[in-house]
Structure 1
């Protein structure tokens, strides 16, 4: 006598085989989908890393450019300050040297000649008086000619113009 179990055995085996085939197919599809998901995630991660790297490099370059510009401005400021200091020192030395002319025996003749030059420049009616620091100042209505030794020294330095740059040129 064939039992139900014996009769259903081939059907059960066929169903089990089909279930295994279906399970293998589902597992294969799941593995392929998982592989695609992992590959997509890797591509996305790589793109994010590349974008972040480019952005980081751009920000670093911007910071570096700003730092270079700051350094150039600071260096230029120091250079200009040094030039001003050298020019101020030159002015001081020239003024001191010109004021030393007061001790020269020819100083009275220099005062006389400066007075003549002041009148020639501003008019014969100017009143000429000796300046306390040396030299003369001539004044008249609406006019003033400063031939003090300090003013003459300042004009001499200013007249150097671009030539004064030789002081700090290599």
Structure 2
């Protein structure tokens, strides 16, 4: 009986081999498709990551540039403020030298008259220790000190003061 089944067994083995090879071939095709799809997805993920990284780098670069520009502007404004402050200090020092001028008493008289004109005839005018006069009345005060006059003179320069830091 074994001999009688031999062709059947041989046919079954042959068919099993064919089926196994077909299954293996389909599995290899599916595996190759999966690997190709995974590689494509990896390339897409990598491209997206690069694009995201480039976008983030651009945002970071813009942010850093804006911060650098702000720092530069702040430094420029600080230098300008320092130059303006120095001008004020020098102007005040120069105007204080007027106290040593023989015409200083006439200047005090003129400043007193200006203070009364500005604040009213009832203003009490006193000489200030640093020079000039200070006039006070009910609810009013007129500062004609030498320092205040120097500060007003610098303020009156307006945009002209920008020549201090202009090239």
* Partner residue in 2 for 1:147: 144
The counterpart of 1:157, out of the listed 140, 154, 157, is 154
Is 1:53 aligned with 2:58?
no
The aligned counterpart of 1:133 is: 130
1:62-81 residue CA offsets vs partner (Å, 9 max, x unmatched): 22222222212222221221
Q: 2:5 and 2:119 mapped to 1: Cα distance?
A: 137
Between Structure 1 and Structure 2, how many residues are aligned? 167
Give the distance between the partners of 2:133 and 2:91, measured in 1 at CA: 18
TM-score by length of 2: 0.88
The 2-side partners of 1:148 and 1:138 are apart by 10
Structure 2 residue aligned with 1:103, among 82, 95, 100?
A: 100
Equivalent in 111, 115, 118 of residue 115 of structure 2: 118
What's the counterpart of residue 63 of structure 2?
66
**Cα displacement string for residues 92-132 of structure 1 (whole angstroms, at most 9, x for unaligned residues):** 00001111111122212211211121122222232222111
Structure 2 unmatched ranges of 5 or more: none
**1:26 maps onto 2:19 in alignment:** no
Which residue of 2 is the match for residue 78 of structure 1?
A: 75
RMSD (Å) for aligned C-alpha atoms: 2.0
Q: C-alpha separation between the residues in 1 aligned to 2:25 and 2:129?
A: 109
Looking at structure 2, the residues matched to 143 and 32 of structure 1 have their Cα atoms a distance apart, in angstroms, of 99
Residues of 1 paired with 2:25 and 2:89: CA distance? 94
With 57-66 and 94-103 compared, the bigger mean Cα shift is at: 57-66
From 14, 20, 38, the equivalent of 2:35 is: 38
